[in-house]
Amino acid sequence: MTAALLVKDLEFSYPDGHRALAGIDLRVEPGERVAVLGPNGAGKTTLVLHLNGVLSATRGHVEVAGVPVRKRTLKEIRRRVGVVFQDPDDQLFMPTVAEDVAFGPRNFGVPEADVPARVHEALAAVGMAAHADRSPMHLSGGQRRRVALATVLACDPDILVLDEPSSNLEPVARRELAELLLGLGRTMLMVSHDLPYALQLCPRSVLIDDGVVVADRATRDLLADRGLLAAHRLELPWGFRLD
């Protein structure tokens, strides 16, 4: 079976010489939900920016459903890899929710006659269809997070890449988003510092530090290794129990 995502020997250095990735290998199968964990500066965001061609590797390569990430394939890659940013305001810029959700399909060449259905289906999937005509600026933080997700779902990506999806959400919105994501049935890569959220959503976790993969295990097993977490400046919240 062709991997949903294949990263081989990925290296990247910034112009100042800092090596952010030092040989990342990662394979994600269709339908898997995988968390990418690690301390600040570990290389997580740099990795994400390679998945849809925002950054180009110094060495190694990335494939999405067998399609290599190259300059000539970028439009197709960006349709296949839907990135939901940590701050939904980075994705919402149109006057209404519906226009924001329609922007992606239109940009990827979906026939105009099909766009309204795409918009309705995506908003219905995240429970925001009733807000289609509202300004995103008048929504709550949790609602904006849902709309940002809808802007990606409307493009029907093969992979959802979520950057810190639980950040700045109140407990109810955090739970509702988790239930929504679990119900989507999509291949998912989730970058997070929220270890309990990783456990709730992703059966498998990859720990990255200093630009390399230092562990790739079942999430529960990885989080149970307190020595490993401590060695990479991660820890579970006080009072949190794995059992």
Residue 44 lies in a domain: yes
Residue 214 CB burial class (10 angstroms; 0-12, 13-18, ≥19): middle
- Indicate whether 85 pLDDT > 90: no
Residue 242 lies in a domain: yes
Residue 143 lies in a domain: no
Residue 178 lies in a domain: no
Print the domain residue range for 7. 1-65+189-243
- Indicate whether 141 pLDDT > 90: no
φ, ψ for residue 106, nearest 5 deg: -65, -40
- Name every residue whose Cβ is closer than 8 Å to that of residue 6 and which is 6 or more positions away in sequence: 26, 27, 28, 62, 63
Residue 109 lies in a domain: no
Residue 93 lies in a domain: no
pLDDT band at 200 (very low <50, low <70, confident <90, very high): very high
Mean pLDDT of 184-196: 92
Q: Is 148 helix (H, G, I), strand (E, B) or coil?
A: helix
Strand partners, 10: 24
What pLDDT sits at residue 133?
94
Q: Which residue has the tokens 């149970």?
A: 224
Tokens for 57?
A: 């590797």
pLDDT band at 185 (very low <50, low <70, confident <90, very high): confident
CATH code where residue 22 lies: 3.40.50.300
Count of structural domains within the chain: 1
Residue 128 lies in a domain: no
Residue 149 lies in a domain: no
pLDDT digits (tens, 9 = 90+) for 108-132: 889 999 999 999 999 998 889 999 9
C-alpha separations of 226 from 35, 221, 223 in Å: 17, 10, 7
